[in-house]
Amino acid sequence: MKNLELEGSKIFDSIKHIDEDGNEFWYARELQKILEYKEWRNFEKVIDKADLSAKNSDKNSNYWVVGVNTPIITGKGKKEYIIDYKLSRYACYLIVMNGDPRKEVIALGQTYFAIQTRKMELLEDDYNLLTEDEKRLYQRNLTKKGNRELNKTAVMAGVKNLDKFHNAGYKGLYNGETANDIAKRKKLRYREDILDNMGSSELVANLFRIDQTNQKLINDSIKGEKASCDTHYMVGKKVRDTIKELNGTMPEDMETPSKSLQDIKKDSINYL
């Protein structure tokens, strides 16, 4: 079981995405290729069954199948849109459960999504019981992991000045503010990490920016430092626009916690 879980993680985590609320989802077109369905029309029938099953279950709307239009470039260089779906973890689970378990990738998918669904149900329940500082620590760990992956992707795309690259993302999300501008506004000490001085909601917004930039660089095969910086800025701006459309609190208006996460960690060590 452990080997199946590890192998499944390698395959299905590679096409996993994170939305603006921090929820996992998978694109149907990408899952189709992984599950080795040759014809889209056949895979779409499986999606329809999964959608119906999800809506008839006790699961809430977070588990539904959401239709989207995905842009592609045709052989003639023309941009067109094709039908696609954003699939929740539970929807993916229902899809692979309808597959042929004799196929290795289907067996891996059944194991992976069954385990992940149960794990995330437990994590979501636990997360709701966390204090704000505990949520900050949790989200900060996710941003650290996300930035490590983003740095690798950016370097592969040709980025040499990572500070410039990250500032592009901050400028998009924070209405032109760089990391230094944010630090000054938050009245931080010299070289104090701005992410360590954000509340959980602000960290979630940055995590979404980080994840979506990483996916955009990979999926669109972005090359070159300027193109990568432009992409990071654009994604940051899109996240900002989404927050604005939802009448949410803009990132620069979110309250700075009274203590940095580093101070909280020191206090915990001293207490122990």
pLDDT, position 49: 81
Partners of 16 in beta bridges? 26
Torsion angles phi and psi, residue 70, rounded to 5 = -105, 125
Q: What is the DSSP string of 210-252?
A: HHHHHHHHHHTT--SHHHHHHHHHHHHHHHHHHHHHTTPPPGG
Mention every residue, 6+ apart, whose C-beta is less than 8 A from residue 170. Answer: 177, 178, 179, 182, 236
Which tokens go with 14?
């590679």
pLDDT, position 272: 31
pLDDT, position 269: 41
pLDDT, position 51: 76
- pLDDT (tens place) for every residue of the chain, 272 residues total: 334 445 556 788 888 888 777 778 899 999 999 998 899 998 888 888 877 766 665 545 445 777 887 777 766 777 778 889 998 888 888 888 777 667 778 777 777 776 676 666 656 666 677 788 888 988 898 899 899 999 999 999 999 999 999 999 999 999 999 999 999 999 999 889 999 999 999 999 999 999 899 989 998 899 999 999 999 999 999 999 989 988 889 999 999 999 999 888 776 444 33
* pTM score, whole prediction: 0.58
pLDDT, position 117: 66
Q: Provide the 10 A C-beta neighbour count for residue 244.
A: 10
pLDDT, position 7: 57
Give 44-47's long-range contacts (Cβ < 8 A, gap of 24+): 44/83, 46/95, 46/98, 46/99, 47/85, 47/87, 47/91, 47/95
